[in-house]
Amino acid sequence: MSKLFFDHLVELKEIDKQIKKVAKTSDEREELWGMVDEMIHHKVMGCILDKLPRENHNEFLEIFHKSPHDQELIISYLKSRISDNVEELIRQEIGNFSDDLLKEITTS
């Protein structure tokens, strides 16, 4: 099973449309999807680590490493250490990233 605790906060429809427009095979599509997915992992983690006190980083990483899929566990933890609106913070981060990426890939 392949689920990450932040999957429900991520929706990059326009990026997906651009990929589907140019990819002619499923292998091409999956290669490009993989690159976007990697960037999302880094952006979400960066957003969290920016706001999480440094002394909590290892604690969070341990939880994430053991249960990367556990939305309830990790979001509850982050709410207790960062803020109740941590999900909105992640949504905003990914929304901004999506806008930037879309600009980059649609301009030469």
Partner 1 sequence: MTHDPAYEIDFLRNKLKLKSLEVKKNFSEKYPHVNKFFEDRGISLSKIREHSAKVITAGALSGALLFAPPVMTVNFPSPMEIVKNLSTPSPSQIPANQMLLSSIQNFLPTQIGPLTRSQEKNLEKIFNDVIGVNSKATLEGEHLNTTYGYIGAEQHLIRYPGDTVGAHELTPNDEGIAPGLGAWGYFAPSKSDLTTADVENEKWYAVVQTLYLPDWNSRVRFLRDWYKYRKVLIVNTMNGNAVVADIADSAPAAFTGKQFGVSPAVMNYLGGSRYKKGPVVLFFVDDPQNQVPLGPVDYNNINNVKTIL
Q: Does 72 bind partner 1 (CB under 8 A)?
A: yes
Q: Does 36 bind partner 1 (CB under 8 A)?
A: yes
Q: Does 87 bind partner 1 (CB under 8 A)?
A: no
Grouping H, G, I as helix, E, B as strand and the rest as coil, residue 92 is: helix
Structure tokens at 93: 């981060």
CB of residue 73 to partner 1, shortest distance in Å? 12
Q: Does 74 bind partner 1 (CB under 8 A)?
A: no
Structure tokens at 95: 């929304």
Q: Does 26 bind partner 1 (CB under 8 A)?
A: yes
| Contacts of 71 by beta carbon, 8 Å cutoff, 6+ apart | 3, 5, 6, 7, 8
Q: Does 99 bind partner 1 (CB under 8 A)?
A: no
**28, 59, 88, 99: residue in contact with partner 1 (rule CB under 8 A):** 28
**40, 78, 82, 86: residue in contact with partner 1 (rule CB under 8 A):** 40
Q: How far is CA 102 from CA 1, 12, 22, 44, 56, in A?
A: 29, 10, 14, 17, 33
